[in-house]
Structure 1
Amino acid sequence: MRVTAALIALSACLTAAPLAAQKATPALAADPTPPAMTDKENLLLLDLSTGGRVTIWLRPDVAPKMVERVKTLTREHFYDGLNFHRVIDGFMAQGGDPKGDGTGGSQLPNVPAEFNWLPHVRGAVSAARADDKNSANSQFFIVFQPRLALDKKYTVFGRVIDGMQYVDAIERGEPPVNPSKIVHAYIAADNPPAYTPAPPPPPVDLGAPVTLPGTGKPAGTAAPKRAVPAPAKKAAPRR
């Protein structure tokens, strides 16, 4: 089947640069039963710089290899501090790249495709990849609005079940001027601490005040305004 030009253009938004070929990981058997939404071993928590914690329900029943990869990297603190480097309004927010430009990944082997029946609806979490369908690694994207044209072409491995408002607040841009960050990532079963807001940025150091020569006043001090006298009224002419 030929792929339409529109689909190719859409897919290009989600690709990461090809990574070096590496040995494949051992196959993981998929459990056909989805985990409970309360199963902490399959809840990914992302503390975002946008103001809160996002809970993602992982789906090892349909994407066991990608779920295992995300869990491994999360427990290695790989995602802590990484930017959302490509964020398209009405489409998706992409992150998980240590280089911050869409060309990076982890040191682990690429993950083979696990295309499944889960749709790319709002809140879906899917694996980013290059043109090679087996090139997913660490990068992922969270869908803002449905993009069903991507179904069965990218591996959906989870969905946001809480905190989508913090995903909606991610700074837009390709790349964003002030990118939003994953402050910390946790697996809920590891008993993570409560959400802690990201520290505010340090104040800009403007240096010591500069005194204007001969005035004794700091530079930028405006001279006091003088009162302007009202114009004198003219006497009415005598008749």
Structure 2
Amino acid sequence: MPKGFVPQSGKSINKQGLAGSLFGSPIMLFFLLLLLGANFYLAREIADCKGRPRGLVCGLSFVAPFVVPLVFVMMPMTAGKAAIVGPRSRVAEAAEKAKTRSMETAAKPAPAARKPNPKPPPEAQPEAQSQPEQPVVNGYYHRSQVKFNRNFFVTELMRFSRAVPVGEWMVVRTIAGEEMWAARVTAVNEEGVAFSVAAGEIWADKALAYHQINEIFIQPMEG
């Protein structure tokens, strides 16, 4: 065995105590300081809540951590200590101001209502003179402008030669002042023309010579 070698199983081995193992480790020392700080913080808050001196509560808490704060929590609040009044809310202050203003406004007498000035009666406007509606005319032919013959009815008014009415009236006025409402042209020759004329509730054929026609109006049947 080498000189100066001491086996671990020997009686002369140095045994480390509990306090040395706690304070010898940096991690354990950190946790102890953390618990001590929490103890003092709790003691200060309880002292403020119960109205006790901070120095007294914190000093006793150093002797008996976490026990003294628990004892002071169970103790009643000291007489003569007013409860801590929190800061007033801005909303509450604004509500009080609005209430005060409304009370002042209600106390003031309301101004007398002004009577509305009577408006002068509107001047009577002359009624617009109703003008008779003019009939809608799609075409107009006069003997002084147009020569009524077979060629005119075959070319200019060819649409009236259909078997079905075209939806227009051919109003024919003669030199004698007779007026006929025709829907179709039934026959055309060199001497005259024949129309299908409305006679009451029936249709009748009416023949005229070209020299008897004075003027012709073309207008819609709806008109």
* Rg larger for: 2
Would the TM-score normalized by the shorter structure come out above 0.5?
Answer: no
TM range (shorter): under 0.3
TM-score, length-scaled by structure 1: 0.19
TM-score, length-scaled by structure 2: 0.20
By relative contact order (CA 8 Å, sep 6+), the higher-ranking structure is: 1
